[in-house]
Structure 1
Amino acid sequence: MSIRESSCWRVLLKLSLVCLGASLSHGYLLGTGKADITGPAADVELMGYASPTQVASGIHIRLYARAFLVADENDDRKRFIFVNLDACMAAQAITLGVHRKLKERFGDLYTEDNVAISGTHTHSGPAGYLQYVLYQITSLGFVKQSWQALVDGAFEAIVEAHSSVRPGRLEVAAGELLEANINRSPTSYLENPAEERARYKHDIDKNMTLLHLTESDGR
């Protein structure tokens, strides 16, 4: 695991620890932001299946970056941001680009220690934004338009979250969500030992955890 990947997981761990004890609690400053990251709409490989024939030919729905900011109400320097991209995954190239822009705008307020960038793992977004040669083979090279859209959108979402900060509370809910996902290889799952399969109700995880950010006035 790289240093930057480790930093990302540390930020997510902080978020998890805060949220587990945050139900109906106050004492936080919360902010949210959303920005477009759609990128090139045609003639670019889609990211995920490594198929040179899977080429974009238009826009079905637009893609977004969503940023969530949580800060200590008594010391707003204690803050962290989680950014979720409508992309197959984040990448070091994306992270470095975003942090350069954050440094120029906010100085040392946001760093790799308090900003985590992740992806929804969609396979229906543009490819070509990762720095690794293996991924660039099937995307037919680095696509700067894809990379720039992700960097700019993630940055703009963070700026909006920063600008929308207000007092609020965090709530966490968890439950079983049915008919929302499937195991892509159920026959392979059956190759697991029977005693292991007996430990689980389904052949895929159907538990969902929801983080709810609410302003102090209930909105």
Structure 2
Amino acid sequence: MMELLSLLRLWISFFFISTLLLLRVDSHSEYLIGMGSYDITGPAADVNMMGYANMDQVASGIHFRLRARTFIISDPEGKRVVFVNIDARMASQIVTLKVIERLKARYGDLYTEKNVGISGIHTHAGPGGYLPYVVYIVTSLGFVRQSFEALVNGIENSIIQAHENLSPGSIFINKGTIEDVDDMCKEDDVGKTTSASGVGSSRSESSSVPP
């Protein structure tokens, strides 16, 4: 009986503290934070994989789907910054310009070249053909509009999601040490693990990133 009462008091205390923390975030937070996630997989077969510089490195199916993940932060003065992390080798100038063009058509000058950043995770296990530069489109046998449209549409929609769910939140910074990083890098070097992505190939390994 005593154990049951102690457990009950513990849960009541937990509920009380959690409620206070939530009320504090809602009423005193200085930032609005929004998050979004959208599919950018694109063509999954018969397309050269980005960045291998090997014409024989052709995708042959989907292992895990690729996504764009967006974070929007707005300060008390209304200034905003948008960071988009994509499951791709990199973004490209034409992808970024097209995304911003669509955002301007929808939101005016709220999101521009000055506050939107798009960054890839440097995976090579995704479809290529979406960059305008000769060194990249040679191995992809030209510009692949399916890859381009999938990236643009996915990035745009992930930003729309983040914009629509902006809510008061807090930002925390943590600093620490990640153990055994050297060992993980050595495993990568010998091919035991590979880049985090989602388009499979008949000639390379691929793993995944969480949705």
TM-score band (shorter)?
A: 0.7 to 0.9
Match for residue 158 of structure 1?
159
Q: CA deviation at 1:179?
A: 4.2
Structure 2 distance, partners of 1:53, 1:80, is 40
Match for residue 73 of structure 2?
70
Deviations, residues 13-70 of structure 1 (Å, cap 9, x unaligned)? xxxxxxxxxxxx9310000000000000100000121111110000000000000000
Structure 2 distance, partners of 1:178, 1:44, is 37
Would you say 1:47 and 2:63 are equivalent positions?
no
Would you say 1:33 and 2:36 are equivalent positions?
yes
**TM-score normalised by structure 1 residue count:** 0.70
Q: CA deviation at 1:176?
A: 2.1
Aligned-residue Cα RMSD (Å) equals 1.7
Give 2:77's aligned amino acid: D
Match for residue 210 of structure 1?
none
| Equivalent of residue 57 in structure 1, options 60, 68, 78 | 60
Q: CA deviation at 1:173?
A: 1.4
Structure 1 distance, partners of 2:65, 2:180, is 25
Match for residue 19 of structure 1?
none
Aligned length: 160
Structure 2 distance, partners of 1:174, 1:35, is 29
Structure 2 distance, partners of 1:65, 1:172, is 23
Structure 1 distance, partners of 2:180, 2:94, is 36
Contact 2:51–2:136 (Cα < 8 Å) also in 1: no
Contact 2:70–2:83 (Cα < 8 Å) also in 1: yes
Structure 1 distance, partners of 2:121, 2:178, is 17
Matches within 5 A, 1:105-124: 105-124=106-125
Contact 1:26–1:170 (Cα < 8 Å) also in 2: no
Give 2:163's aligned amino acid: H
Structure with the greater alpha carbon radius of gyration: 2
Contact 1:35–1:64 (Cα < 8 Å) also in 2: yes
Would you say 1:90 and 2:91 are equivalent positions?
yes
Contact 1:27–1:169 (Cα < 8 Å) also in 2: yes
**TM-score normalised by structure 2 residue count:** 0.72
Which structure has the highest helix share of the two? Answer: 2
Q: Which runs of 5+ in 2 are unaligned?
A: 1-27, 191-211
Matches within 5 A, 1:138-177: 138-177=139-178
Give 2:136's aligned amino acid: Y
Structure 1 distance, partners of 2:147, 2:93, is 14
Q: CA deviation at 1:185?
A: 6.7
Give 2:30's aligned amino acid: G
Q: CA deviation at 1:177?
A: 1.9
Give 1:64's aligned amino acid: R
Which structure has the highest strand share of the two? Answer: 1
Q: Which runs of 5+ in 1 are unaligned?
A: 1-24, 187-219
Q: CA deviation at 1:90?
A: 0.8
